[in-house]
């Protein structure tokens, strides 16, 4: 379990990746959506671009991974969790991939545009 005082202080500024990877993700209905599995950076800009969410399965088996635009997540003001403003059913239907399969090419802007559009966010490279 993460120390709440550390997360509260850090969420207003710089946060280490180790504090985010493994962090629980909920939606506005307080439904458990999984945990952050990985973070993806744009190496040319140094910008955090995607969070990879592990969701579904049972006891860690059969989990599917979903790339989320980083801008789609926000830190909870009251808990050590990240909030994704997405209905659980929309997430279940989202394009995903298996951890053991070939991961998407996060640098492919055609793929990235489709992910951003699915979640209703403008691609980070347009801002």
Residue 3 has a pLDDT of 44
Strand order in the sheet with 24-26: 64-69, 47-55, 32-42, 24-26, 81-84, 73-75
Task: Give percent above pLDDT 90 in the chain.
Answer: 61
Q: What tens digit of pLDDT does each residue of 71-95 get?
A: 999 999 888 899 998 988 999 899 9
The pLDDT, as a whole number, for residue 62 is 61
pLDDT tens figures, 54-70: 987 655 556 799 999 99
Burial (Cβ within 10 Å: 0-12, 13-18, ≥19) of residue 77? exposed
92: tokens are: 């279940």
Average pLDDT of the chain to the nearest whole number: 86
Measured CA to CA, the distance from residue 54 to residue 26 in angstroms comes to 12
Is 45 a residue whose pLDDT tops 80? yes
Q: Where are the domains of the chain?
A: 4-126
SS3 125: helix
Q: What is the pLDDT of residues 93-102, one digit of tens each?
A: 999 999 888 9
Q: Residues near 87 by Cβ (< 8 Å), separated by ≥ 6?
A: 27, 29
Taking only the tens place, the pLDDT of each residue in 16-37 is 888 899 999 999 999 999 999 9
Is residue 4 pLDDT above 90, yes or no? no
Q: Which CATH class is domain 4-126?
A: mainly beta
């Amino acid at each position: 379990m993460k120390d709440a005082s550390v997360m509260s202080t850090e969420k207003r500024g710089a946060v280490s990746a180790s504090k985010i990877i493994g962090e629980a993700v909920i939606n506005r209905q307080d439904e458990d959506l999984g945990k952050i599995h990985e973070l993806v950076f744009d190496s040319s800009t140094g910008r955090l671009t995607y969070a990879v969410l592990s969701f579904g399965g049972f006891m860690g088996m059969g989990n599917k991974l979903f790339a989320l635009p980083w801008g789609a997540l926000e830190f909870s003001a009251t808990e050590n969790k990240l909030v994704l403003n997405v209905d659980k059913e929309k997430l279940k239907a989202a394009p995903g991939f298996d951890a053991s399969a070939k991961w998407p090419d996060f640098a492919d802007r055609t793929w990235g545009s489709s992910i951003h559009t699915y979640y209703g966010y403008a691609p980070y490279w347009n801002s």
